[in-house]
Structure 1
Amino acid sequence: MEVPVLLAAAKSLLVTAFADLGNAHDLAGKCFESGQGGLTAQQGQLVVWDPDAPCPQGQSYIHAAPGSSFAPMTAGAGAKEHTYHAAEVKDAPSYAAQVGKCHATPTPVGKELTWQVADALRGGKCRASFL
């Protein structure tokens, strides 16, 4: 599936199987409805996290960091729609050991990007206000 081509024309996309959405920089301001398998992206030097995941106060689920694989974005627990964040952070490579876990929410040192993933399997939908 050539998802990055579709992203140029649409702000919202329903993905029914596992998919790599391409470069995380290109996801900002978009919404994706996830089906079976979840979604990944190419993070480069960014750390990607989900503060909407059911983690303890002050923590977020870490999805990716430089030098790590990408834990799929599913919005599979907690709210049906999650806003994901990505940014360069201090000591970014140290987050690689935290991928797939709740960890202290990163503090961006550069521009912070956000996008939304809705769990279509649980009835999640992209909100018009986000698009």
Structure 2
Amino acid sequence: MARPWTWRNGGSEVDSFEYHPDNPHLLELTDHVRRGGKYYSDPEAVAPGRRVTTGTRYGASSVEWYVNGERVRSDGRGVGRRWTAYLILNLSVVAGKCHPGPSGDEPITTAVDYVRVHR
């Protein structure tokens, strides 16, 4: 599972996206700060081996998610005025209750070309 997300002192998580190999065309976009999530699916933009540009704007009154420059979700809830968190990029390999663990001998990889943060 590839995952860029935020975290600080619990309850501050916003998933810029979660990608699960068992759903190869789907990104999970979730605001855990003010509780709201949505699945975004596009076989042309999101697929194994395909490069995709994602972005997230963490606004006080709305979090917005972008895929290849297009806004695909705006939650209308936001993270509040005083919200702060750390940006984390990781590749998790887990067998959770919602997604099976990886199978086979193929390596699992993710690549990040750049990270840009604006204040």
**TM-score, L = length of structure 2:** 0.29
Larger Rg: 2
Larger RCO (CA under 8 A, 6+ residues apart): 1
Could you say which structure has the higher strand fraction? 2
